[in-house]
Chain A
Amino acid sequence: MNIFLRELKTNAKSLIIWCLGMIFLIYAGMVKYSAFSKTGDAVNEFMSQIPDSMKTVLGIGNGTDVTSVAVFYSMFFLFFMLLAAVHSCMLGALIISKEERDKTADFLFVKPIRRSRAISSKILAAIINIAVLNAVTYAVSVISVEKHNTGSSLAVPVLMITSALFVLQVLFLGVGLLFGALAKNSKVATSAATSIILGTFILKVIIDMNNDVKAIEFLSPFRYFKADEVMFDRSIDIGYVLVSAAVVLLCAAGTYIFFQKRDLRN
């Protein structure tokens, strides 16, 4: 309990900054939306003239109001994923490796606890952190989206999308934890986290534009959940939830095993 509380406290400040960043992002996006929706009437008019067959080619559902706040908001999912990936992956990498970085390992790990218990407390604290960021994202999204919404309530679609986001947060947290336990210091751990985030993001872009390589989609978490499916069909791809769960379990197990065997530097 003591380590858990201690971790919550040390991470509180950075969590607040992350939440503020997220709030700023949603707010700025919504301000832009109100400007966009005005020019959007012309777009909608144009849309009505396009034959249905062409709409299908373009991947625009029939009768979708392209200027609706829901469609606009679904664009945010990519931004959320990017920010959340950085937050959770770095959080995971640092929460494990920072004791050695700050040379407090000689303090903490001479206490009469198993290393695994320290890890568990830290993981728990990290999950609370990402859950708070997720909850803030949800709450602020619902409030600002509903303000512009003219159709039926969007609370549930937004909940779906932030749930999908949470799966990704946990996934990146797991990867970060494993890096923290494996890397020789926090610098290497955060660099590894950086390359995973950048690498999988580029991979997402490559797959986006080239469907021939869709087979390797599972390698990029940014491709796991598609905003329009999640929001409008209200379906989260269970297959990828399972893939995420499997990766997280493997990473967590690896974290416990490797950290237990680790020689702690001072």
Chain B
Amino acid sequence: MNIVRQEFKMTYKSLIYYTIGMLATGYIFLIFFKSFAQDTEMLNKLLSNFPPEFKAAFGFADVNLSEISGYLSFIFGYIVLFGAVYGMKLGISILSEETRVKTADFLLSKPVKRLHVASSKLAAIFICLILQNVLLYALILPAASAAADGDLNIKIYSLFSFSVFLVQIFFVGTGMLISVLVKKLKSVMPLTLAVVFMFFIIELINQSLLDEKLTYLTPFSYFKGSDIISATGYDPKYLAIDIAVFIVFTLLSLMIYRKKDIRAV
């Protein structure tokens, strides 16, 4: 418990900053909803008989942005991006933090197993992520329902909101694996942003091309707004991949971390 507490203390500040960033993004987009919906309605009529490939290639969303659920899927696309950066940052940080700030000798010479250290840190991450997601869910909900004039499908909203967490655990696992594989990690953020944006760009390409194969590659495509809206649920295939990636990468990281040589200061 002491490690969990210490870990949480060290990271709660960035939790606040990221959560504020995500909330602000959500609010700002929601403010624009009404005026945007009116503009889009006309365009939608115009586009209604265009082939989907065409719409995709020109960056028109495959959801109806003049409806609140479509618009929310668009908003959460960006909230998920923020959340992914946060998740990746946490994932890369935790197992490498001690060697970076040279406290590894302190912590790992204590009478605890490495596995205990790692799982405590993982627990701290989960506390952060759950806290963040609960806050997001609770604080964006009133704004969304106000923007929708009460015409909000709570189930669909919840699915969008929960997808933030699902994408985050993908990046936590990936980040942890990267951090135990890289020999010497000096700065977290450059690596975090590079990897997350790489995945995000693949998603952007995918949005224009609608290629099923690309969808497997990037968690940003796993919980697509159009699918959630039409099926009122996640595609079980991608949900399974997402969770599997998290579990496999995490277990792999823990196994490597257990045997890893800790460098002297």
Question: Which A residues contact B (CB, under 8 angstroms)?
Answer: 18, 21, 25, 28-29, 32, 35-36, 39-40, 42-43, 46-47, 54, 57-58, 60, 66, 75, 78-79, 82-83, 86-87, 90, 94, 98, 101-102, 186-187, 190-191, 193-195, 197-199, 202, 205-206, 209-210, 212
Contact = CB atoms under 8 A, between A and B. Distances in A.
B205 A29 contact: yes
A36 B57 contact: yes
Interface string B1-35: 00000000000001001000100010011001001
A46 B197 contact: no
B85 interface: yes
B189 A194 contact: yes
Contact of A212 (B25, B35, B81): B35
Contact of A25 (B29, B54, B201): B201
B36 A86 contact: no
Contact of A28 (B25, B28, B35, B205): B205
Given A194-B193, A205-B78, 4 more contacts: A40-B53, A47-B54, A58-B58, A190-B188
Interface string B205-224: 10011010010000000000
B171 interface: no
A187 B210 CA distance: 38
Contact of B197 (A32, A47, A86, A195): A86
Contact of A90 (B28, B189, B202, B205): B189
Q: How large is the interface on B (under 10, 10 to 19, 20 to 34, 35 or more residues)?
A: 35 or more
6 contacts: A35-B211, A54-B46, A60-B58, A78-B204, A86-B197, A206-B29
Interface of B: 14, 17, 21, 25, 28-29, 32, 35-36, 46, 50-51, 53-54, 57-58, 78, 81-82, 85, 186-190, 192-194, 197-198, 200-202, 204-205, 208-209, 211, 214
A36 B194 contact: no
Contact of A101 (B32, B35, B186): B186
A48 to B, nearest CB: 12
Q: Taking chain B's interface residues, is the majority helix, strand, or loop, or is none over half, making it mixed?
A: helix
A205 B77 CA distance: 11
B158 to A, nearest CB: 23
A94 B57 contact: no
A198 B51 contact: no
A206 B85 CA distance: 19
A94 B196 CA distance: 19
B186 A210 contact: no
A138 B204 CA distance: 21
A32 B212 CA distance: 12
A94 B29 CA distance: 33
A36 B205 CA distance: 11
Given A43-B51, A46-B54, A206-B29, A86 B190 contact: yes
Contact of A32 (B35, B50, B85, B209): B209
Contacts of A46: 50-51, 54
Contact of B53 (A42, A191, A198): A42
Contacts of A43: 51, 53-54, 57
B211 A190 contact: no
A82 B200 contact: yes
B193 A98 contact: no
B189 A190 contact: yes
Contacts of A86: 190, 193-194, 197
A35 B50 CA distance: 20
Contacts of B17: 195
B59 to A, nearest CB: 8
Contacts of B78: 202, 205
Nearest to A36: B209
A262 B200 CA distance: 37
A193 B211 contact: no
B209 A206 contact: no
Q: Nearest 4 A-B pairs (CB), nearest first?
A: A190-B189, A90-B190, A86-B193, A79-B201
Contacts of B81: 198
A84 to B, nearest CB: 10
A35 B187 contact: no
Nearest to B192: A194
Contacts of B58: 58, 60, 66
Contact of B187 (A28, A79, A190): A190
